[in-house]
Amino acid sequence: MTDMSSEQELLEFLYACPVGLIECDAAGEIGMMNPHAMQHLLPLAGARNASNLFAALEQHAPELRSMAAAFVPASGRICDGHRIFVELGPGRQGMVPKVLACTLVKLGPDRLMATLADVSQQVVQENRLRQADAWFATVLDDVDGYAALTITPDGEIASANSCFLNQTGHAPADVIGHNLADVLGTDVPGDDMRLDEQLVIAGRDGWHLQEGWQQRADGKRFWCQRLVVAQSTGDPLKPRRFSVVLRDVPRPEAATGDLRRLLTSDHLTGAANRRHFSQAMAKAQARSRDRHEPVSMIALDLDHFKAVNDSHGHPAGDTLLCRVTEVCTALLPPSGVFARLGGEEFGVLLPRYDHAQAMALAEQLRAEIETVAVETSGGLLHVTASLGCATLEEADGSIDALIALADRRLYAAKRAGRNQVCDSQSDAT
């Protein structure tokens, strides 16, 4: 051992520690952070206050502030490995999107300790493992409980094994020559892909797996995994057929439903979080590519919101954010996604909406936000919003370009005077 002081040892430990360490007070004001923390935090802070943990992460994990405020015990773990999706979409130039894991611990009434670690590669590996698990679990033939069929490119059933009777109540001989989607009553309106859409993707990628409702012969519905695999013909002129595996699985309910909401929703407002928004955008992009359907995005930012927090406090600002989320969500179509992307910034994803439809909805959102009023000790609090619209087609099919274009138009609306929607003609350069 050396005679190195405990303070020197601590400094050396902080410098060498492979994860970011941040100590701050209950309001997020940082008292200490090590080099790894600076490496992660400073690029995220941008023009915001980099000396405050919550302010620095406001655009990427706005829920952290409210999670810390809502933690009642005198000490304990506020969150463990909470994932912060730094980038939306596939990442710059197709790189792996950056994801940070944040653990926040309350050490005392006015003392917090946070760790930040880059888990981008881990998230990629987890996604691959989930896909592989699903593949190996369902691709097995002749296993009890798995119905296996062969269908034509039109969805017509060419063969079915005996388990199909157990799964659906339909005897295999009775369904040969019928369309599988008609037999299972599966193609109902909603976000789930239709069978013909699954076939297109399986033809392109080799396979596709999804879960959804299916219908038995007696009319009762059951939750089912449906795997569609393109068969190899070896002859490009021979029509390709598809293997379909059906597996009756428990539907996510109760606790898993709560977990899903926790993972996909913003902690404060209940809007979708960045992670869910990113996944929904990727799904909409794939669907647009396969089905040639339009996709639009609205970038929305509340005007002068910092002044709201400064003048009326964060509780009033939080209430305002919740009310804005409430009125905007009520105007969305069934397939729309309203997400809080950070602070007072929101994103609206609109599958199957062209530019004109998105502009009309954006104007409705703007007008509705203008009517929101929150009662405070200083009187009624109002807010306005600036919005920018863009379509995936304008962005050449790129999610990153779509986000950037919507953002540019949002800031064009700000420069033009706020409380307005920017259309393509006034696009910023």
Render pLDDT for 301-317 as a digit per residue (tens, 0 to 9). 999 998 888 888 888 99
Q: Which residues contact 219 (CB under 8 A, 6 or more apart)?
A: none
Cα distance between residue 209 and residue 13, in whole Å: 47
Closest C-alpha among 342, 332, 347, 172 to residue 244: 172
Q: Is the pLDDT of residue 250 over 80?
A: no
- Distance (Å, rounded) from C-alpha 223 to C-alpha 230? 23
**Can you read off the two tokens belonging to residue 334?**
């069934």
pLDDT in tens, 1-18: 455 566 677 667 667 777
**In 57-98, which residue ranges form alpha helices assigned H by DSSP?**
63-70
| 70: Cβ contacts below 8 Å, ≥ 6 apart | 267
Is the pTM higher than 0.95? The answer reads no
The token duo for 212 is: 């959804």
Angle between helices 305-312 and 314-331 (to 10 degrees): 140
Q: Is pLDDT of 429 > 60?
A: no
For the segment 273-296, the average pLDDT, to the nearest whole number, is 86
DSSP string, 4-27: --HHHHHHHHHHH-SSEEEEE-TT
Is the pLDDT reported for residue 48 higher than 80?
Answer: no
Q: Determine contact, residues 48/55, Cβ cutoff 8 Å.
A: yes
Is the CA virtual torsion 154, 156, 162, 165 positive or negative? positive
Distances (CA, A) of 65 to 112, 187, 318, 413: 12, 42, 10, 28
pLDDT at 91: 53
CA dihedral for 235, 236, 241, 244, sign (positive or negative) = positive
Q: Residue 206: which of 227, 186, 222, 177 has the closest Cα?
A: 227
Q: Residue 129 corresponds to which tokens in the numbers above?
A: 């493992």
Q: How confident is the model over 127-143, as pLDDT tens digits?
A: 666 666 666 665 554 44
